[in-house]
Amino acid sequence: MLSKYVLRRDEDFKRVYKRGKSVGSRYVVVFCCRNGLKYNRMAWLASRKVGNSVQRNRARRLMKESVRQIGDIETGYDIILIARKTINDRKCADVKKSIETAFKKLKIRTKVTADENR
């Protein structure tokens, strides 16, 4: 992933937390806010509450892969995904479903894929 698509600056995080909307689902909490750009910037967070470094890194990998599989997300948003403690020992499909649910509640999902129509 290119660096311009990753949310890094402290001011951006504060803006998303202060002005953005948040939705909690079973395995993740999603914060999102418009950014005025033609692309999305994302951040994946896992605190020490999730577990040791191996568990935190796995949680971030699960979230990244789930977002990649979801595909079409409306552009122009800063999105922060925060792993919950319940993400440990879950499969990618479970996390993907949880993130999809949060995105639908935030109304940032643009297109339904053929797999979801089954």
Fill in the DSSP letter of residue 4.
G
| pLDDT (average), residues 64-69 | 93
Question: Bridge-partner residues for 79, per DSSP?
Answer: 32, 42
pLDDT at 110: 64
Inter-residue contact 22 to 31 (CB < 8 Å): yes
Written as one letter, the residue type at 93 is: A
pLDDT, tens only, 22-32 = 999 999 999 99
Buried-state track 11-36, b at ≥16 Cβ within 10 A, e below 16: ebbebbeeebebbebebbebbbbebe
What is the tens place of the pLDDT at every residue in 78-111?
A: 999 999 999 999 999 999 999 999 999 998 876 6
pLDDT reading at 64 higher than 80: yes
- How many whole angstroms separate alpha carbon 39 and alpha carbon 14? 19
- Decide: pTM greater than 0.85: yes
Instruction: List the domain boundaries for the chain.
Output: 3-109
The second-level CATH assignment, the architecture, of 3-109 is: 2-Layer Sandwich (3.30)
Give the mean pLDDT of 36-51: 93
